[in-house]
Structure formats: structure tokens, C-alpha cells
Structure 1
């Protein structure tokens, strides 16, 4: 069914097993890896940077010559890590794990890093994890008997490190659960730690307003993003790899597209947005366009009605100190609630 939904803020309308040498002995439901040269935590498999993949063991690095053991500032599995010296979504410098085909949930724990992304199967899975020991989780279908994963560039010049992986099998069917994909900028993206960050994006808070198991939310937004960057630099590619009929794609861009450094005209912005919509709809998914919510001093329609109702003082309290653009955790929660309410009105089940 061809359906275009416009929603926005402005017109608004996002078995463990122990230390054994091989994962080939029997099919497991949970696989846990502790990376680095330090002590190995109970119920984890220890993996050093020098551990090369071989089929009898069933896991290891494809090119260990491009890996390095490093210390980390946390405790337990976060006390050490491996660093990826070669990276990029298409890099073959991956950690490979042989897995029976199916759907898996992967929990990633980074080592010390300022900003890093996680890629697997040649596309981004998590965008711009920030801070030492950052954690996040994603679903991924395995269709060729092996998961290939690496930590890659989020910000040039920082270390891309991995402390631990926990991989849990969810289903024999290699198809992601029903998903809402979210694209956007710094007002939408994730901030870490996910459950306690002072700053937050509304895409990060959206799951709080959804019925359990109705959807998973995959937030592919990133700070500073603009239309051409989102389309061309890997975020849309990741969405197109997995999105399917029954899924939704919420896209909010525009704040950074007017910045001269991005060299993007209004006509180019509109055509790039149309192109992204066409590509997603060709996969059978539905598109939701969200106009940027603006600043605390410049709201429109849905967000305007809400912030007008609470007044200027309470409105400013929902933004980062001295910042009228980026919401704090409470503000992002309010914006996510407005999104969820509007989606429910438009007939999207699960809110």
C-alpha cells in the first residue's frame, strides 16, 4: 500500500558458555567474548588481538596483524580491549564468529574511545557511540553462517576499540523483528549511556512510549548530519539493507542543511529527500517525514502548542544549559511523547 504519512514537530508530522577453545562443539543460544590481553571474566571466551580466525575454532580476527591489545579504564570486561587499526564498513579487518543462520541480538561494549560506530556485514549497525565503555544493542540476521563485525570510525582521530560482545540467538528465521528506523541529526540521535545521559535525542527516547515487542527502534541519526551525508555516507545504506514491508522510516533533517559548509542548495536538499523516500518505499516500507522541531525560541504546530502551554521558563528547562536547540533528557522525552501520540493518531499500531 502506497501511503505517505507526514508528521512533525514543526509541521510534525524514531547460554553463556565458558572458556572453551571452540564454539563448534554444539549450537549455543548465547555467545560471550571478552577482548584484550588481561584476565578473562567468568562465562566469557577470551580473545586477544593476535587470535586469528580458523574454522575449527569458529571465531577470531580476519587480519590480526591490524589489531592491537589495549588497556581500558573500566572494570570486569571493560578493563581491557582490542583496537582496530584498520577499519571502515567495507574493511576485511573484522572479528568473525561462525553462527547458525537465524536472527541474533548483539550487545556491544566498547573500550576507551571518544566516538566510534559499529559495523557488521558491510554496513553500519550502531552510529556514534560515545564515551569509555559505551554499550548498545542491535538485531542482525545471519544468512551465510558467519557474523563479521568491527568497530569503525565515528570521529576521525580517535581510537576504535572493543571490550566485549554478547550474542544471543532470538529466532531460527533470519529476519529482523518489526522495526522503526530513525534518521536525523543531533536533536534525534542517541547519547550515551543510553539510560542516563544528560543530553538525549527524541529518537533515543521513543521506545519508552511503545508497547512491549511492538517494534524495535533502530536510531541511525547522528550529530551534524544533513541530507546528502545521510544518503551517501552509509546510514541510508544500512537501513535499505534490512528494511521491509511493515517497517517504518522516520526522517528528520534540515537543521544542518542550511549550513554553508555542507554546500547544499534548497533544490538539492529537496531532491535528495525525495530520492531517499523513493528508495525506502521501493522496499515496501512506509515513510514518515518529521520537520525539525526548531529552537526553544522558535517552535511550530505540535511542539509549539505544547511549549506554549507550559510557558517559556519550563520550556527552557527542557534544553541543555545555554542551548536553545538541543534538548536535555527530559526535553527529548517530551518530544518523543509528542511523536508517539501523533503516530498513534495516524493509525500506527504499537504506541
Structure 2
């Protein structure tokens, strides 16, 4: 006859009945639920007993999606915006979490949580990305919102896992910029890429988490006013870096931003981040692939409000990476044909995957030279 102690030894150990759940996998939409996931339909409202659900299910729809498994269906957020109360809520113990999202059929959709952007402009059906987020108030509040107005903002699956019981972000490098810096999807295989997307290839994840908040078409005024800087300011802390590279779109007359205005908006962002105790690094954008003279020397020093960025770094006492000049020296060394091969076909401004890797490498090497990274 088995005693109670003998029986306990034979049974698998189970969590205590009141143990806090620290990982979830959700499959959204009206279709079949994938094995290992918790199904969530658009009409499933939040209640405390189950610990998850939509805050306002009346503003959600079940929709189909083009993928398989968890990617075969989704929910659509019909009311959105980073401050919207139309969120999917999950009760979680306070701590640091990794959140992985898969969207449905969508283009240029952003993920927001805790009232700020987390991922910018995810593009492509069943596109995936992940981010780390501290939970301070016992609940994750997440939604998918516009990167481009007029799209369908959908969510196919969500995976949440606790990294630490301490609700503090790991040392992080935050990146701001435009289309030459931003993420393109799928992250591992995209033809076009920004150097911010590639930075983690040269930065050890054990040293720094990289959070790229750059977006295509961005100018200084937009980055400051439209939510991207707000997200950084919510989390950035002493020991973190903020690398900011703008100027390309700011010089376009349609954006109505003079060099003097550009400089003062950039100054405001620099000062706001410095006040958080983080290290600011200003970077100048690389030139066009065709900026070669007749002697085969690449030079783009008079582009993109570069002088304003250099002056601002000196005036505010922050670090400068003159990627414009550094990349020109590299392009000169490899020549016009090899340089053109680092840009998108028929496009002399935007780097391809290989070009973004080279720019990230050059930037990281300069960080090492300046003692910013070992």
C-alpha cells in the first residue's frame, strides 16, 4: 500500500493552487484554437476570474488571416490609438516580461502597451516581433494601432513570458530615426533594412537590449510629438543609451522644418533624455550611393542638416557619431559599384539588408573607439 509520501513522490509536481501564472500563449480569432494556446474571441471581455480579456469587446471583430495555425485568424481593433481604452488585458505579477506578437493581415501597424508605443510599423501578413516590458501595476494592457492611418489593425497571437520578478528594464540602447534606421519585416530576411534593425547583430544581447523606435518618413518634430519619444522617456534610465539620427526628411521643403527649427527640436529631445540620466548619442545620416566625385571619393558632408547636428552635440556636451563621414570613408574604400550594391535597386538613399549591416557595423565600431561599448 502506498503511503501519502510515496504517492507524492510518484506524482509530477504541480504549482500551488494560488501560484501566479507568469507565461501565456493566446490564439485570437473565431477559428480553431491551436494546441497549447488559450483561445480568445473578439467577444471575450475581461473578467478578474480568468485574468484576461478585452476591455471593450464591442470594439473588436473576429477576422480571417492568411497564415496557418495561430496565423489563420485574428481579431481586429476597430477603435485604436496609443491612449485608447480598447485594449487586451492580462493580469500578471509585477516583473519584467518578454512579449511576442503576431499580427494578422495588416500593413504598417504598431503595437502599443501601457499607453505608449512598443513596436513601430510592423508590415506584412502574419508579421512577428517581440519586446520587453516592465509591469508595475499587475496588468498588461495591449492593443494594435496605426502606423499608417486607414489600415486594419489585427492581432493573431500573443506570447508572454516573465524574465524577472524585478519590473525594471535591462540595460537598453534606444534608437530613433527615419527609414534608413527603421525596422523592416520579416526582420531576419527583409530585402530593405535600417541600421537600427541590424544593431543587435553587433551588440551582445547580454550587454544591451536594442529597442528601435525609428520609422520611415520621420522628422524631428514628428518623433518628438507623435509618441515615439514619449515611449522612450517612459522607460529610459541611467546606464541606457539613446542614439538619435534624423535630418534626411527634415530637409524636405514639404515638411516645413528649417535647419534652425530642426536643431532646437533636437535640442529639446536631447535635454529631455539627459534629464533621465541616460547617455545621448547623436548620429549623422549616411549620404546617397552616388555621392562620388570624379576622383572616386565619396562625400556627403553638406547633406541632411549635418552641421546642425554636429553643433548641437558640442553645445549640449553629448556624444557624436559622424556616420556621414565614417560611411563615406568606407564607401570610398570599396568604390562606387560596391557601394551601389549596398542600396536598394533603383534607390540611392535606402540601404538593403547588406548595407544596413555595414552601417550598423561602422556605428558600433565607432562606439567602441569612443569607449561607449567594449
TM-score normalised to the size of structure 1? 0.92
Corresponding residue number in structure 1 for 2:289: 296
Corresponding residue number in structure 2 for 1:66: 59
Q: 1:181 and 2:174 equivalent?
A: yes
Q: C-alpha separation between the residues in 2 aligned to 1:26 and 1:32?
A: 17
Q: CA deviation at 1:29?
A: 3.3
Q: C-alpha separation between the residues in 1 aligned to 2:152 and 2:28?
A: 15
Q: 1:258 aligns with which of 251, 272, 288?
A: 251
TM-score normalised to the size of structure 2? 0.86
Root-mean-square deviation (CA, aligned residues, Å) is 1.0
Q: CA deviation at 1:258?
A: 1.3
Q: 1:125 and 2:115 equivalent?
A: no
Query: Equivalences for 1:214-225 in 2 at 5 Å?
Result: 214-225=207-218
Higher normalized helix content (fraction of residues): 2
Question: SS at the partner of 2:251?
Answer: coil
Question: SS at the partner of 2:263?
Answer: helix
Q: Greater relative contact order: 1 or 2 (C-alpha under 8 angstroms, separation 6 or more)? A: 1
Corresponding residue number in structure 2 for 1:320: 344
Q: C-alpha separation between the residues in 2 aligned to 1:194 and 1:150?
A: 21
Which structure 1 residue ranges, 5 or more long, are not aligned? 1-23
Question: SS at the partner of 1:68?
Answer: strand
Q: C-alpha separation between the residues in 1 aligned to 2:85 and 2:325?
A: 48
Question: SS at the partner of 1:257?
Answer: helix
Over residues 56-79 of structure 1, what are the superposed CA-to-partner deviations in whole Å (9 max), with x where a residue is unaligned? Answer: 110000000000000000001000
Query: Equivalences for 1:1-351 in 2 at 5 Å?
Result: 26-298=19-291, 299=300, 300-350=324-374
Q: C-alpha separation between the residues in 2 aligned to 1:335 and 1:54?
A: 48
Q: CA deviation at 1:338?
A: 0.1
After TM superposition, the runs of 4+ consecutive aligned structure 1 residues lying more than 3 A away are: none
What number of residue pairs does the alignment pair up?
327
Q: C-alpha separation between the residues in 2 aligned to 1:108 and 1:82?
A: 13
Q: After the TM superposition, which of the residue ranges 70-79 and 263-272 deviates more from structure 2?
A: 263-272
Q: C-alpha separation between the residues in 2 aligned to 1:254 and 1:128?
A: 20
Q: C-alpha separation between the residues in 1 aligned to 2:278 and 2:253?
A: 33
Question: SS at the partner of 2:35?
Answer: coil
Q: CA deviation at 1:157?
A: 0.9
Q: CA deviation at 1:301?
A: 1.8
